[in-house]
Structure 1
Amino acid sequence: MNRILILIFLALPFWAKSQVKLTGHVMNGSEPILWANVIISDHSEKVITGSITKDDGSFAIIIKKGSYKLKVSFLGFTSLENSILLEKDTDLGKISLTSDSKNLKEIVVTARKPLIEQKTDRIIFHTENNISASGGNAINVLRLAPGLTIQNNTISILGKGSSHVMINGRLIELSAEDLITYLNSISADDIKSVEVITTPPAQYEAGGNGGLINIILKKGINDSWKNSATLAYNQNKYGFLTLRDNFLYNKNKVKLSISTGGNKGYSRKKQDLNTYYPGGLWELNYDGKQKEDNLSGRIALDYDLSKKTTIGGQYLQNYNNPSSKDYTSINIRNTSNTIDSVLINNGFRKLDSKSNTYNIHLISNLDTLNRKVSFDVDYFTYDSKSNNNFKADMFSPPKIFSGTNLSAQNVSNQKINNLSAKMDIEHPLKLINLSYGAKISFTNSQSDVEYYNTMTGNHIPDPNQSNEFKYIENNQAVYINGVKKFNDKLNFQVGLRLENTQTSGLSRTLNQTNHNNYLKLFPTVYIAYKQNEDHSFLFNYGKRIERPGFAVLNPFRSYINSTSYSEGNPFLQPSYSNNFDFTYSYKGSLRTNAFLNVTSNGFGVIFTSDPVSKTQIITRQNYYKEYYYGIGENYSSNILPWWQNQTSVYLLASKTQFTTQIGAIPQNGSQIYFAFNNTFSLSQSFKIQADYTYTSSFNKGLYKLGYTSGLNIGLKQTLLKKNISISLFANDVFNTAYLKNYTSIVNGIKQVYNENNSSRFFRLSLTYNFGNNKLNAKQRNFGNDEERKRAD
């Protein structure tokens, strides 16, 4: 099969037909016109092809040689029509449109991008004017995007589960907690839109059952520079300050982007866990004060070697120090529900983690038919050091000290290195637009845990609870993807990705080695049919893989406190999902979506409790097959000229089968999701945002989840021609949007968990923009996408 794919790739460049490229720039004086229509028709007025202009007014059309009619138009301007003979590549240069003052003499036309835009393989949520996100960060934006939920440090697409996140096509390869911290460092005011890709095409890594979320940053036009600075203060029980700055420069052959940001302060972490042992209830209450210190930065530079070739590189750095003071109390009750004793855990956790990502790339247009090749080499490092000290004292009512139950220290280190290289080729043909490429990746992860018994006041090493683990993973992939437009109504896209993976895990302490090798194909199919301007239909299918994170493959125990520990599973296998999705759109504003996702060999966290030792054990297993399905409606409109609304309603359900005996019964049920987002533009400079979400309780797989609801309110005032903006935002006004009643029953022992990590908070922010706003600094992907996501 590999030989066949190589032969196909070598033969593709010779398949091109006789075509030419038509380019130009549509302008209003010195200002580019965005979204202008450029239509090519034959002399009988039959439309052959067309395009719309980009941010800089440019367009590019590939067409057969011949004689045509050209029409360029835009609302509020006089259209331009000419006959044109195309025998070679033609650049029309600057095409000037003049304002149609006659038609606009007594009215004002305000053009708005649609809040939601449906594409063949993704939904685009335009966020530029969203007030709730103003002065906030990327997490605030994602909470507003249709069909996205964020809970318990997990970002999910409805019906898809945990999703991977990209910035301008670059996957952020961090653990769930580190990813949340990193996204908190990105200014919401720098985000243009969010792409929700439920079924990613073949050019993306096959990893991630939950699809992809792509955050698109703002950009302007050429020959200018811009700086944006934001200062924000967040207040929950504690407070923290955020400062961000983003500088963009784009002139002549140089494109430069520099961004940096950081947090300073504290937030509250609050968790409750009730464990119903046969001998009585254990009530655990955790209250922590976590330091929110974070610093991140990015620099990207591109240089045009020629009109066809660009070389560049970028560097991304992220440093976190989320240390915390922890206080955990456990009320131990008897069968009469009377408190027999109280276990108090006092601890201090210090965590230092940093990641560095390096990229160099080359992009070259091969010819005038828009064939393009790009090369990327990426290197990623992640270094994490953790120091966890805890002491558990026993008390008899009323608070009489009866002894120390446990005193210990855990010191752990993890280092991850990834080197990857990839090549991508875009190859438009007369019959089909092809893209294809290949990637290789090498990952090395080393971690160690040192356990010290401090009961006597001295640090006594315990070799039986210390461990060293080394993990190696290599991956090779090739893909091919084709897009075919049959006519103005029917579009078809199909892709195939082949991935070959080899893994090796070595626990030196346990003297245990595990190997795993697998070769898998991942197909994708998209069919889009547009009946007319009012009715359109879209079907897509894709197969995905979810690989275990590096850390959860480590078989050793890591103690959280005196009554709880977590252990990995080196025998974990990847899970696979087959995803089916159908969408009907009416007039671009009402979307009906139905989906079915089938996950096999699913793995996840299992919370069990030992009734003898009264210890909570957190493990991971491949234990289920799941059918997750649902139907939803999404409606966006301008109810009044000053009132923009987006409403989403979903009915979700699941059916789970346990494929491994874990001492539990599958929970199956249905759920209602509702979101109501409103923007009120009271003037050109003052807006109000009011959003409400609700999810009903849900039985799914091993767990039952309680309901959540949340009301968010935001105010925004702009000054000095929108160069300054001040916003006030209240998140979860009634403090009801946190994770609650997360229930499981394993081996007859019931556990109920609640987590409220500062769900309710208030934010005041100030943003100042200066410089030349006409800027277009390009962003570049990193190639080691899948690997960095799984770093822990």
Structure 2
Amino acid sequence: MALVAPSIHAQQIIGSLNDAAGQPIDAANVLLLSPADSSLVRGALTEPDGHFSLENVAQGRYLLSFSILGFETVFINNLTVDEGHPIIDLKTTTLRENSTLLAEVSVVAKRPFLEQKIDRLVINVENSITSAGATALDVLERSPGVVVNRQNNSIALAGKNGVIVMINGRINRMPLEAVVQMLAGMPSANIEKIELITTPPANFDAEGNAGFINIVMKQSNDAGLNGGFSFSGGIGRGSNASAGINFNYRKNKLNLYGDYSFGRQAQEQLFLFDGQVLLDENTLQTDTRSERDPVQRNHNARLGLDWTLSKKTVLGILISGYDNRWSMDAVNNTTISINGTPDTLLRIVNDEINHWQHLGGNLNLQHTFRPDELLTFDLDFLTYDNENPTNYLTSYSGTGGNFLFEERTFSGKVTPIKVSVGKLDYSKRFSDKIKMEVGMKGTSSRFDNDVTVFRIENGVPVNDPALTAEYRLEESIGAA
């Protein structure tokens, strides 16, 4: 259950890490965890001067951990964040070197959860306890520099909008709204790592000026058949459950892989709003109570094939799709008072459904002429459909409960999108300092958006032409 006031203050946690000699520690993992299950809430890396900052921390009690290879992990328990302390300064925390002596040494490679590289931040999701039961969107939402807005289906990276999302290094050409819905249904159990690329290489598409998010899915290199299954669930003010399965079959020149996941989340939300304004010499006050019961259900699936035609040529085929349905029943009751005396009661009941469907296919070919000369070809087909019907019932009553009048409205939005993209790239390296890259790309897309609004008058639906519209857009782009 969520209680939302007119103004919400986001807290910030700052501090720094030093070693025993007083020197700053760079690139250490700073993880803010839930004390109940150690799930990740926020994450950051320390700067070269040892400082760190965790932004937009909601009020509550947390567990904070500091870790880096070669040093002992430090925990801060019962860290309380409240409205009275907008900035919590932890000053300097000292990490001591891990000096445990072993009679016999076994070296085990384990990557940190956050890993800073020259051009990107890598989030190692695989085998991370802090990401258990989460989705790809949950992990992004808790990552440093990423802002996810679930209401308008947007993702910003380092304060910039227009992020491009890639799956296994290939650009996902769906609209960002559709990508957000796909990530909301993608379990972290199927993900190896997520790369936040703020300084993209020169061969990346120019339209990704806000950066790229590359999601690398799990894929085994072992011969034969192998796979995995995951399930998680929870209950509170609502319930959630998710399950996923993945497999990989590799034999001789053939590699077949795929995964499927299902998720369902039901919530009970309560929002309280109040406000007042001066109108002439009167004070107009509104008190609103909004009860919402959103339910989200999603299916995600991928099936791919890599076929080694020769020592130098690999052919790949990938089919992917998802079906995501979000529905909500909401009741909003507003009392309008004048100078402290209730005047009008406004009640709005709405039922809304948002249904996204996507099916895409990719054909790719890679030919290596020699180690320093490469030719790649990609062909993508994409269909995407969004349906958004909504019913509104608005009723007005006097202070004594006497009925005044009501309005009933129905709105519908249908948005089908089709995209085809072909891309051919050639690269050749002449020396360590000289490399040639050339390519060509063609894109064809069609976008439809039909919006209809009906008002119910005397039991008969009447179209509202002022709010009804049809949009069509066809576009073809070629580049080299």
TM over 0.5: yes
Aligned match of 1:470: 472
3-state DSSP of counterpart to 2:385: strand
Give me the whole-angstrom Cα distance separating, in 2, the residues matched to 1:117 and 1:274.
44
Q: For each residue in 1:77-104, what CA deviation from the matched residue of structure 2 results, as whole angstroms up to 9, or x when unmatched?
A: xxxxxxxxxxxxxxxxxxxxxxxxxxx9
Partner of 2:354: 351
TM-score (norm 1): 0.44
AA paired with 1:249? Answer: Y
**Structure 1 spans left out of the alignment, 5+ residues:** 1-103, 479-792
- Aligned counterpart for 2:321 among listed residues 292, 317, 322: 317
Query: Which letter maps to 1:423?
Result: L
Is residue 2:319 matched to residue 1:341?
no
> Within 5 Å, which residues of 2 pair with 1:142-541?
142-152=140-150, 153-161=153-161, 163-175=163-175, 178-264=178-264, 266-268=266-268, 279=279, 280-334=284-338, 336-366=339-369, 368-404=370-406, 406-430=407-431, 431-478=433-480
| Alignment partners' CA distance in 2, 1:135 and 1:105 | 38
* Pair 1:134–1:429, CA change in 2 (3 A): same
Shift of 1:243: 1.8
> Is contact 2:220–2:248 with CA below 8 Å preserved after alignment?
no
Query: What is the rounded CA distance, in whole Å, between the counterparts of 1:174 and 1:369 in structure 2?
Result: 33
Q: How big is the shift at 1:114?
A: 4.3
1:767-789 CA-to-partner distances (Å, cap 9, x unmatched) read xxxxxxxxxxxxxxxxxxxxxxx
| Residue identity in the other structure for 2:391 | N
Question: Equivalent residue of 2:140, what SS?
Answer: helix
Give the Cα separation in 2 of the matches to 1:381 and 1:427. Answer: 34
Alignment of 1:734-749 (within 5 A): none
The CA RMSD measured in Å over matched residues stands at 2.6
2:219·2:257 contact (CA, 8 Å) conserved in 1?
Answer: no
CA gap of 1:145–1:426, structure 2 versus 1, over 3 A, is: farther
Q: How far apart are residue 449 of structure 1 and its match?
A: 1.6
Q: Quick one: distance in 1 between partners of 2:264 and 2:133? A: 16
Distance 1:208 1:311, change over 3 A: closer
Report the CA distance between 1:240 and its aligned residue. Answer: 2.9
- Listed one character per residue, the Cα deviations across residues 253-273 of structure 1 (whole Å, up to 9, x for unaligned) are 111111111223523455566
Residue 138 of structure 1: CA displacement?
1.2
Contact kept in structure 2, 1:408 and 1:455, CA below 8 Å? no
Aligned residues: 373
Residue ranges of structure 2 left out of the alignment (5+ in a row) = 1-101
- CA drift at 1:291: 2.3
Q: Structure 1 residues 265, 151: closer, same or farther in 2, change over 3 A?
A: closer
Report the Cα distance in structure 2 between the residues aligned to 1:278 and 1:474, rounded to whole angstroms: 54
| SS across alignment from 1:463 | coil
**Structure 1: how far apart are the matches of 2:274 and 2:423?**
49
Residues 446, 469 of structure 1: 8 Å contact kept: yes
Q: How many percent of aligned residue pairs carry the same amino acid?
A: 25
| Matched residue SS, 1:181 | helix
Aligned to 1:142, what secondary structure does the other structure show?
helix
Rounded to whole Å, the distance in 2 between the matches of 1:177 and 1:169 is: 20
Moved over 6 A (4+): none
Alignment partner of 1:141 out of 109, 116, 139: 139
Give the superposition deviation at 1:158: 3.3
> What SS is found at the alignment partner of 2:138?
helix
> Which AA in structure 2 matches 1:299?
L
Distance 1:316 1:219, change over 3 A: closer
- Give TM-score scaled by structure 2 length: 0.71
- Report SS of the residue matched to 1:464: coil
Counterpart residue number, 1:631: none
Say whether the 8 Å CA contact 2:291–2:332 is kept in structure 1.
yes
Provide, for residues 716-745 of structure 1, a one-character-per-residue CA deviation record: whole Å limited to 9, x for no partner: xxxxxxxxxxxxxxxxxxxxxxxxxxxxxx
Structure-2 change in CA distance of 1:284 and 1:377 (3 Å) = farther
Q: Distance in 2 between matches of 1:200 and 1:285?
A: 46
Counterparts of 2:330 and 2:174, CA distance in 1: 24
1:133 and 1:182 mapped to 2: Cα distance? Answer: 18
Q: Alpha carbons of 1:162 and 1:115: their partners in 2 closer, same or farther (altered >3 Å)?
A: same
The separation in 1 between residues aligned to 2:478 and 2:364, in whole angstroms, is 19
How far residue 284 of structure 1 moved from its aligned partner, in angstroms, is: 4.5
Query: Given that residues 276 and 282 in structure 1 are in contact (C-alpha distance below 8 angstroms), is that contact kept between their aligned partners in structure 2?
Result: yes
Q: Structure 1 CA distance, aligned partners of 2:386 and 2:352? A: 13
Give the counterpart letter for 1:376 in structure 2. D
- Report the secondary structure of 2:460's partner residue: coil
- Separation of aligned partners in 2, 1:261 and 1:228: 12
Q: Is the 8 A contact 2:231 2:242 kept in 1?
A: yes
Q: Which amino acid aligns with 2:360?
A: T
Please give the secondary structure, in 1, of the residue aligned with 2:457: coil
Tell me how far apart the structure 2 counterparts of residues 166 and 267 of structure 1 sit (CA, whole Å): 30
Report if aligned partners of 2:191, 2:217 keep a CA contact under 8 Å in 1.
yes
Within 1, Cα distance between the matches of 2:165 and 2:270?
26
> What is the Cα deviation at residue 338 of structure 1?
4.0
Instruction: Tell me which amino acid in the other structure corresponds to 1:147.
Output: G
> Counterparts in 2 of 1:586-665, with a 5 A limit?
none
Corresponding residue for residue 640 of structure 1: none
CA shift for structure 1 position 124: 1.9
Please name the residue that 1:660 is paired with. none
Aligned counterpart, 1:107: 105
1:315–1:356 contact (8 Å) kept in structure 2: yes
